Every structure is written in structure tokens, then in C-alpha cells.
């Protein structure tokens, strides 16, 4: 069993905390590593290292910084199989899926290195302009469901903008974070530091006076505490929190096509995705055929060990999360809902839960109101598109939403849903420099991709330049011998 350590200023650092946390393989229930709980002294060391490295990293020429980040992308892509193995062992994602996700995210280093060279380049100092500078030291707190990809996404933009980083993974998924640091060890010491632990390190990190900006992805409850801490210190916080994403299935779409998209959106990564489809509103005209197709897809999805080549879904991350998922299904059934497939905790080791389709779910059931974060598709039949859109817009979250329709007017109506992103008919190409902000309890902070993200992690200064009057020159004085 491995005993994990922080990585500070390019070196492994033992925690000053005497408490440790078990890291458990969700497929077997076996303890596979020991992670330090962390403490305020550990935070001090990590932040100090990042602050010491910040001036040189921020002042480094953009092309030189870009070369280092491109190298980071190459090294992460090469290390993807190993990173995926650790991610699978600690949170249950199928290895093939994890590998593909990590390779895709690694390309972000190249993209942001190129974009920063264009967007943040020096402008003519003699003209009025906006200049953007890094905030300084960033706290990047990432969740357990996509521990490598979300870390890479944050690192690519923060580092390209000239910030140094203290990266804190979830205590449930620290192994992949340690492995990621090995792929980044060519960066100058202190530019990226790894801080392990639970709230005993996370709390002091976001409250630390040496942190200039916080990027947090996680639960609503913890996000509120992070936001409060940042508000007290008046530092920016980018918060992506929970979701309860809805999909509207209109009367005029192919039911089998719609069921395929819903199955993918509800069951991928065992439903452990921030933007999983967790509410389905389907028009009564196609509801029977749609539900039949969705049940067939759930029933044919292969659940098994994440290291097996034919596995579609691995286990949930831990027993607590499985209890939440099963509790939501049971509550819905108690309120009159019917389970058509799945909905039962299987026998045997590991925290598996089958793809589940539930119909006749009351609108006030926890399965329709609270984040489930599991492979469950609750279906509600509606009489009209207007009713479906109204229900999709209800609730306390606003992370993502999907509308499947062949009606151009209905597609236009979809844009009014309160969400950071709205996908119509499986979407298409992202707009250049996409910008979005979570709504309601799903978070705060205007972020996005490309230039929008670089803008979010830099501080703008408007420089207004006018010519200065010159002092009149008098007649030339005669030279003396």
C-alpha cells in the first residue's frame, strides 16, 4: 500500500499532519493507498513555494512559457495510460474511457499556449489599450469524478496566463494527482504544487492570504463555504457546483435517436458527471416508444470491472454515493414511481449500481429535485413542449440543459433556459471563445473556453495614453572653452 506525499517546489514533502485517510478501490472495497489528511502548515509550505515561483513565471516570455506548456501536453498525453489506470483504481472509471478523456484534455496545453501568445502579447505602449496580468497564485481544487481532466483544464489556462498553482485533488482520488505531477516535473519548481488531504487542507488553502484566485469544482455545500471565504478576502472565485440537468424530448424527434442521446447523457461514467442528464421530460406522443428504447439500452449496458475491455460502466466512487443513488430511487418508488430496469443494489464486492430507468416520478421526489450523481434516468411524460420547458426551467440548479426538437421555434425557446450551457439536438461545434456562467446553485463566475477563460484568470488594466507636452527649449548657450 502506497503512502502518499505532497509535492512542493518540485520535491516530495511529508505532511506535518499525523492523520491519514484510506484511498479505496471502489471495484473491490480494498484499501490501496494512504493519503495525508493535511493541515494548515502543509498549506503554508505549498503556498510559499508557489509565491516564490510566481514572479519568474509571470515575467517569463510568452514563447518560452508556451514551449514548456506544449511539452507538458506531450508528456501528459504519453502518460495517459498510466494516469488512466490510477484514476480507474481510485474512482472506478473504465480505463479505456479515462485514457481517451485524458489524451483529449492534454491538447489543452497546446491550445492555451498558442492562444496566450496571441491574446496576452504586449501591445504598443504608446497607444491606449487593455493589458492583462496574472492574478498571482491560484488554488485549483478539483473533484474526484474527473480528477485528471479537470486538473488539466484548470492548469492549462492558469499557467498559460502566468499564474502559479496549488493543486488540491479530492481525498478520494489523490493517486492520479500524484502521477500527474510526475508528468509536469519539467516545469520550474513551485510553478505547480500538489496539496493532498480533505477539508483540513482545503479549508486553510482557500482562506490563505497568499492565494489570489480560487477555482473550485465540487458540491454546492462546499462551494458555498469556498465562496464565503473568498468573499471575506475579496479574491475572485470560479465555482462550478452541482447540477440537475434536464432534457426535453419533443414530439417530432425520432424516439430511438433521442433514447440513445439520453442513455449516453445519463449513464456515462456511471452518472458521475457534473452535467449528467438527471431529469427527462418526454412528449406523450412518443413517450411509449422512447421509454421502450431507453430501457433496452440500459439493459444492454455492460457493468463490470473498470479494467475489463468490454465494460461500459464501472462502480460508483464509494458506499456513501451508492447509498445516495439508491435512496433517491427508493424515495421515488415510495411516492408512486415505477422502476422499469435496474434500481437494485447488486450482490458482491464493490460499489456497483446498474443503469436504471424510472417512470411516473413525482415532481417533488428527491430523484427530480436533488443531485443524484448516479446512472439513473427518471422519466416524466408531458402533454406539450411548453410544459416540458417550464419543468426543465424549474429547480435550484442551472448547470446544463438539453432540448431535442425538430421545430426551429422550439430550438429558439431553448436558449431561454437558465443554464450555463444549452445543447440542442446533440449540439455541434462550440462557438469561438465560448463564455458561460452557471445559474442558481450551480455556481458563480463567468468562465468558458479560449480567450474567455484567459480573461477569467487574469486581471485587466486599462491603460489610457495621451502625448505629454514637451518643455519649450530656450536658445542654445554658447560653448565656453
Q: What is the pTM of this model?
A: 0.96
Both 182 and 41 in one domain: the answer is: yes
pLDDT at 470: 87
In a domain, 432, yes or no: no
The CATH number of the domain where 65 resides is what? 3.40.605.10
Task: Return the C-alpha cell found at 51.
Answer: 509565491
Both 260 and 288 in one domain: the answer is: yes
pLDDT at 428: 84
Both 197 and 307 in one domain: the answer is: no
Q: Which range (52-61, 134-143, 318-327, 429-438) has the least confidence?
A: 429-438
Both 265 and 331 in one domain: the answer is: yes
Is 161 within 8 Å of 116 (Cβ atoms)?
A: yes
List, in sequence order, every beta strand (DSSP E) within 25-136: 31-36, 129-134
Look up the domain containing 177 and give its range: 2-241+438-463
In a domain, 480, yes or no: no
Both 175 and 65 in one domain: the answer is: yes
Task: Quick: pLDDT tens for 181-220.
Answer: 999 999 999 999 999 999 999 999 999 999 999 999 999 9
The CATH number of the domain where 372 resides is what? 3.40.309.10
Over residues 53-72, the mean pLDDT reads 98
pLDDT at 62: 97
Both 289 and 186 in one domain: the answer is: no
Q: Is the pLDDT score of 433 beyond 90?
A: no
Q: Which range (37-46, 170-179, 282-291, 446-455) has the least confidence?
A: 446-455
In a domain, 472, yes or no: no
In a domain, 479, yes or no: no
Q: Is the pLDDT score of 479 beyond 70?
A: no
Over residues 168-180, the mean pLDDT reads 98
What confidence category does residue 350 fall into, taking pLDDT thresholds of 50, 70 and 90?
very high
pLDDT at 432: 77
Over residues 236-253, the mean pLDDT reads 98
Encode 207-226 in three state secondary structure.
HCCCCCEEEEECCHHHHHHH
pLDDT at 429: 84
Q: Tell me which DSSP letter residue 16 carries.
A: S
Task: Quick: pLDDT tens for 462-472.
Answer: 999 999 898 87
Contacts of 254 (CB under 8 A, 6+ apart): none
The alpha carbon of residue 391 and the mean position of all alpha carbons in its chain are separated, in whole angstroms, by 26
In a domain, 416, yes or no: yes
Using alpha carbons, select from 143, 288, 283 the residue that is nearest to residue 221.
143
Both 237 and 249 in one domain: the answer is: no
Number of structural domains, the chain? 2
In a domain, 286, yes or no: yes
pLDDT at 448: 86
For the purposes of burial, counting CB atoms within 10 Å of the CB of 55, is it exposed (0-12), middle (13-18) or buried (19 or more)? exposed
Q: Is the pLDDT score of 481 beyond 70?
A: no
In a domain, 178, yes or no: yes
What confidence category does residue 447 fall into, taking pLDDT thresholds of 50, 70 and 90?
confident
Q: State how far the Cα of 143 lies from the Cα of 216, in Å rounded to an integer.
A: 8
Both 21 and 123 in one domain: the answer is: yes
In a domain, 476, yes or no: no
Task: Return the C-alpha cell found at 24.
Answer: 479505496
Determine how many CB atoms are found less than 10 A away from the CB of residue 407: 14
Both 42 and 93 in one domain: the answer is: yes
Both 134 and 217 in one domain: the answer is: yes
Mean residue pLDDT of the chain comes to: 96
Paired residues of 121 in beta bridges:
none
Is 316 within 8 Å of 29 (Cβ atoms)?
A: no
Over residues 472-481, the mean pLDDT reads 68
Q: State how far the Cα of 38 lies from the Cα of 410, in Å rounded to an integer.
A: 51
Both 111 and 156 in one domain: the answer is: yes
Q: Is the dihedral of CA 342, 345, 347, 350 positive or negative?
A: positive
Both 68 and 207 in one domain: the answer is: yes
Q: State how far the Cα of 107 lies from the Cα of 3, in Å rounded to an integer.
A: 31
Half-sphere exposure of 459 (CA within 13 A, CB side): 13
Q: Is the pLDDT score of 84 beyond 70?
A: yes
Amino acid at each position: 500500500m502506497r503512502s502518499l506525499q505532497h509535492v512542493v517546489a518540485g520535491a516530495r514533502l511529508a505532511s506535518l499532519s499525523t492523520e491519514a485517510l484510506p484511498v479505496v478501490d471502489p471495484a473491490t472495497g480494498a484499501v490501496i493507498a494512504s493519503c495525508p489528511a493535511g493541515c494548515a502548515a502543509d498549506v503554508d509550505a505549498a503556498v510559499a513555494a508557489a509565491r516564490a515561483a510566481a514572479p519568474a513565471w509571470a515575467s517569463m516570455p510568452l514563447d518560452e512559457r508556451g514551449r514548456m506548456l506544449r511539452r507538458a501536453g506531450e508528456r501528459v498525453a504519453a502518460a495517459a495510460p498510466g494516469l488512466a489506470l490510477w484514476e480507474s483504481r481510485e474512482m472506478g472509471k473504465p480505463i479505456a474511457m479515462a485514457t481517451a478523456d485524458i489524451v483529449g484534455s492534454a491538447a489543452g496545453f497546446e491550445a492555451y499556449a498558442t492562444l496566450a501568445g496571441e491574446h496576452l502579447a504586449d501591445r504598443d505602449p504608446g497607444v491606449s489599450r487593455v493589458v492583462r496580468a496574472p492574478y498571482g497564485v491560484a488554488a485549483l481544487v478539483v473533484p474526484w469524478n474527473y480528477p485528471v481532466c479537470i486538473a488539466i483544464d484548470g492548469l492549462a489556462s492558469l499557467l498559460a496566463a502566468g499564474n502559479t498553482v496549488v493543486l488540491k485533488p479530492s481525498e478520494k482520488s489523490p493517486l492520479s494527482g500524484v502521477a500527474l505531477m510526475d508528468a509536469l516535473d519539467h516545469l520550474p519548481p513551485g510553478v505547480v504544487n500538489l496539496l493532498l488531504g480533505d477539508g483540513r487542507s482545503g479549508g486553510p488553502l482557500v482562506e490563505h492570504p497568499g492565494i489570489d484566485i480560487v477555482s473550485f469544482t465540487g458540491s454546492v455545500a462546499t462551494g458555498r463555504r469556498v465562496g464565503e471565504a473568498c468573499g471575506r478576502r475579496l479574491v475572485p472565485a470560479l465555482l462550478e457546483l452541482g447540477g440537475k440537468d434536464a432534457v426535453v424530448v419533443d414530439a417530432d424527434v425520432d424516439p430511438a435517436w433521442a433514447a440513445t442521446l439520453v442513455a449516453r447523457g445519463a449513464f456515462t461514467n456511471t452518472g458521475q458527471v457534473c452535467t449528467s442528464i438527471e431529469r427527462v421530460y418526454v412528449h406523450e406522443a412518443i413517450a411509449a416508444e422512447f421509454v421502450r428504447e431507453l430501457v433496452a439500452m440500459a439493459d444492454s449496458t455492460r457493468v463490470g470491472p473498470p479494467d475489463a475491455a468490454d465494460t461500459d460502466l464501472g462502480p460508483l466512487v464509494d458506499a456513501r454515493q451508492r447509498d445516495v443513488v439508491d435512496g433517491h430511487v427508493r424515495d421515488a418508488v415510495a411516492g408512486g414511481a415505477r422502476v422499469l430496469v435496474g434500481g437494485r443494489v447488486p450482490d458482491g464486492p464493490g460499489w456497483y449500481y446498474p443503469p436504471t430507468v424510472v417512470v411516473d416520478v413525482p415532481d417533488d421526489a428527491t430523484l427530480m429535485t436533488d443531485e443524484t450523481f448516479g446512472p439513473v434516468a427518471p422519466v416524466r411524460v408531458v402533454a406539450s413542449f411548453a410544459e416540458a420547458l417550464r419543468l426543465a426551467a424549474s429547480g435550484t440548479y442551472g448547470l446544463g440543459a438539453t432540448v431535442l426538437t425538430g421545430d426551429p421555434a422550439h430550438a429558439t425557446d431553448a436558449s431561454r433556459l437558465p443554464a450555463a450551457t444549452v445543447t440542442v439536438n446533440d449540439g455541434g461545434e462550440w462557438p469561438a471563445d465560448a463564455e458561460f456562467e452557471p445559474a442558481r446553485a450551480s455556481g458563480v463566475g463567468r468562465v468558458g473556453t479560449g480567450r474567455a477563460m484567459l480573461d477569467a484568470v487574469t486581471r485587466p488594466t486599462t491603460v489610457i495614453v495621451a502625448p505629454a507636452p514637451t518643455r519649450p527649449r530656450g536658445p542654445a548657450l554658447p560653448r565656453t572653452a
